[in-house]
Structure 1
Amino acid sequence: MKIDVLTLFPEMFEGVFGSSILKRAREKEAVTYNVVNFREYADNKHKTVDDYPYGGGAGMVLKPQPIFDAVEALSQHTSAKPRVILLCPQGERHSQKKAEQLSEEEHLIFICGHYEGYDERIRDIVTDEISIGDFILTGGELGAMVVIDSVVRLLPEVLGKQESHIQDSFSTGLLEHPHYTRPADFRGLKVPDVLISGNHKLVDEWRIKESLRRTWERRPDLFDHIELEPLHQKWLEEIKKESR
């Protein structure tokens, strides 16, 4: 996968792309990162990328020309048509499902805006508008980092175990079950007996039930979007009764 990032602050990505899973993905050649200061594409003498909004108002607006030229130039380097992603508070709320969808692509271009907003015409070359939540950031850089991390970790061979991301929260539609490690007794806080019983069938059942329980207690709205197996639905009803 090739990932291009258009930003006015490329230095923000140095530590992120050079650390942890994102670094490992690059070392395994699962992904290449290319961070571009789109000011380089400005066609005016002073390399300005923003201007005052028509009709008046506070703040500055990103001009279309530098973004259009940058996206067109980057699109020429790969045969696959890129997905062009605009980080925007008006966009679709990012989700695990969206991350899985984007992980199937060969080329992603992220546009990180700043200032008051974008010239509306920039949306003509955008395929996806994504928001990471109902709040405002100073720019799209942090949002792009979040989306990129969620996508790259899904690429084949990036995580230590191929099944790791399958069990993540939201991958199944539910929140993930609790995890424990050694020691079995820490300051009187004990690991559930079932996890050290050696009975894999019971362990699997416990994990599913705890996933259902945690989702019901913390994010019951998620059940509106998933269809449970009959047995899991039965367990959920039992959990509901226990919580009353």
Structure 2
Amino acid sequence: PVALSLPAVSCSRLPPTFLHYPLSPGGGSGIGRAVCQRFASEGATVVVADISEESANQTLGSLNHDHTGQDHMASAVDVSSRESVEKLLTSIQCRYFQPPSVCVNAAGITRDEFLLKMEDEDFDKVIQVNLKGTFLLTQAVGKALVACGAPKGSIITVGSIVGKVGNIGQANYSASKAGVEGLTRTAAKELSRYGIRCNCVLPGFITTPMTDKVPEKVISQLTSMVPLGRMGEPSEVADVCAFLASDDSRYITGTSIEVTGGLFIG
């Protein structure tokens, strides 16, 4: 098994870890990269996976290797493909002789358009990656943990606040993220008997490379809607993922935690 030694000062007590980060333009950065970096800094062994192996390797190169036993890995994966997901899990178990004890699924794409103009292809593709991808990863990791008799596990999915409140021009994305929450709650009920916890993190307006292209006027309008008065940082989403992966959240399952600065309090 993977040898993992955590620093004595660590409060998160993270186990050997598998991370999947966003399938999106600039996927080697933003929330996914912040999650990988946070977990690696805690002493976890991280497997970074992305549809682009180049992006995965860029994130891999940024990870901390200071703790004993860390042996990070990068791999390409298409989360909408069962074959690709199962191949990834097999490669992880062949390398580490155990399945990932934590899975953070942040895979997500957008194909925005107004409801009356949206094409079937754009609706289907978003559902395939965002919702079916979450199903395939949750199922594959859950099966692997149960098969090896692991005493516990944590599956964390990065959803979105728009899955709760909707958003103009994002009927497909909103539907997929709402579905992710329902899937997570059901998985939590079914997998709890095996010691596997399943939770969602719902980011609001987060500063990423994608938002760098948004006009300053629009950013100002967005931040004016946030009670805390600013955009969130990827590291603030990563902090919540680290909490949900750790034993500090050992009695939390089937819930969604909003990381929105108070956006849409109600």
**TM-score normalised by the chain length of structure 1:** 0.34
Which structure has more relative contact order (CA 8 Å, sep 6+)? It is: 2
Larger of the two Rg values belongs to structure: 1
Report which of the two has the higher share of strand. Answer: 1
**TM-score normalised by the chain length of structure 2:** 0.32
